[in-house]
Amino acid sequence: MRNIMIILKHNLKSLKNTWLFLIILIPIVMSFFVGKMTEYQKGLLDTRISIGVYSNDKSEFLDIILPKDEFKEIKMINSKNELEALVKDEELFVGVIIDSKDIYEDIKNNKENFIEVISNSNLKKEDQVLNILNNTTSKVNLLGQNKEETLSLIKEYEKEQYKFSSENSSLQDNIVYMTAFGLFTMVFLFIGGKGLNPLIKERESKIDKRIIVSNVSKVEYILGNVLGCFIVLMMQSIILLISLEIFNTDFNVSFTWMIILCFALTFVAIAIGLFVLSMAKTSTSYYAILSMVVTPFCLISGGFVPSEFMPENIQKVAMISPLTWINEGFKNILYGSSTEKIVLNILAAISISIVFIVIYLLIESRRKNKFI
């Protein structure tokens, strides 16, 4: 154990101050920009408008025909004249005047012109409100034979509609997080490769043999370097999670699951680094092969483009990439999917990574320049 700790410290010292600074800075900067991008996206996607409303009937049916989630703000105005003045002075773009003592009865009886939409020549926003009113009043007219039945059926309808719309909105809301996580995994893998660099550098300069002479076994030597890399990567993962919590108030996911996923991602990064290490003979070739392995893995694994949009053959090839399962796990955590799905994603990523590690160990054991 003492020898492992010595090698671990040696591995951490090999990371110069510049690298340590980047390791800490990258997740913070990334989290900050993700927060800004999600804020911008929300503003871009939110096309709702604010309206003023005057109505004699303030029953539940007013909320049904003018649902609050369809508008940025609904201001209740005390008189028709006040509302008209506010629209004329452009303090409100659109106003809705409902001249009805019983909205439900007037809709069912097909009463004409009891709802009036006024605007300050902004026809686009006026049409937007008219479309909403046409949809909601048609709903009231078609559903139920009395007030109680109509209210009950509308509530059931809105539940089903919410399920459908929440699936679409969750994709829009989470696409920034998924893309940012895909970029982070790419950077993460390269930093993991940098963390394992002493293994190839010291093999290249024959320093590894001299280390072994000092009563350090081959297993202790490899394990010390791997643990050093593991600590650096987990530190970066934790910094990312804390930064996301600070800069993104809407990032409401299970912190426990994210720690477990980051543990699996760290394992994946080390496995890929060791796999590349088994094929490299020099530091130059190590970084070249690392780029050739990491870049395609990241591109086909669904981190930048959802796997569903890729050709079928690419999707099949992507199954051998542990990053595919990491990204799928992240997506399931974002969507609040079942524990079984998330566990299967993580186990798949770890299982494929174990295969990469076994390949490294087999190739390493056959090298001619074995440790004594």
Beta bridge partners of 94: 51, 119
CB 125 within 8 A of CB 119: yes
Answer whether residue 83 shows pLDDT above 80: yes
Instruction: For the chain, give the percent of residues with pLDDT over 70.
Output: 80
Quote the pTM value: 0.65
- Name the band, by pLDDT with cuts 50, 70 and 90, for residue 164: very low
Domain boundaries of the chain, sorted by first residue: 2-41+171-365, 48-142
The predicted pLDDT at position 160 comes to: 59
Answer whether residue 65 shows pLDDT above 80: yes
C-alpha span between 273 and 232 (Å, rounded):
14
The predicted pLDDT at position 289 comes to: 92
Lowest average pLDDT, out of 89-103, 154-168, 300-314, 322-336, goes to 154-168
**pLDDT tens digits, 213-250:** 566 667 777 788 888 888 888 888 888 888 888 887 66
The predicted pLDDT at position 308 comes to: 75
Lowest average pLDDT, out of 18-27, 56-65, 119-128, 134-143, goes to 18-27
Phi, psi of 287 (to 5 degrees): -70, -35
Q: Are strands 94-98 and 115-119 parallel, antiparallel or unpaired?
A: antiparallel
Answer whether residue 111 shows pLDDT above 60: yes
**pLDDT tens digits, 173-211:** 677 778 888 888 888 898 888 888 887 877 776 665 555
The predicted pLDDT at position 346 comes to: 95
C-alpha span between 307 and 122 (Å, rounded):
42
Residue 96 host element (H or E): strand 94-98
Q: What is the CA radius of gyration of the chain?
A: 30
Secondary structure of 43-88 in HEC code, one letter for each residue: HHHCCCCEEEEEECCCCHHHHHHCCHHHCCEEEECCCHHHHHHHHH
Mean pLDDT of 308-319: 84
Cα-to-chain-centroid distance, residue 170: 10
What's the CATH fold of domain 48-142? D-Maltodextrin-Binding Protein; domain 2 (3.40.190)
CB 48 within 8 A of CB 70: yes
Residue of higher predicted confidence among 28 and 264 = 264
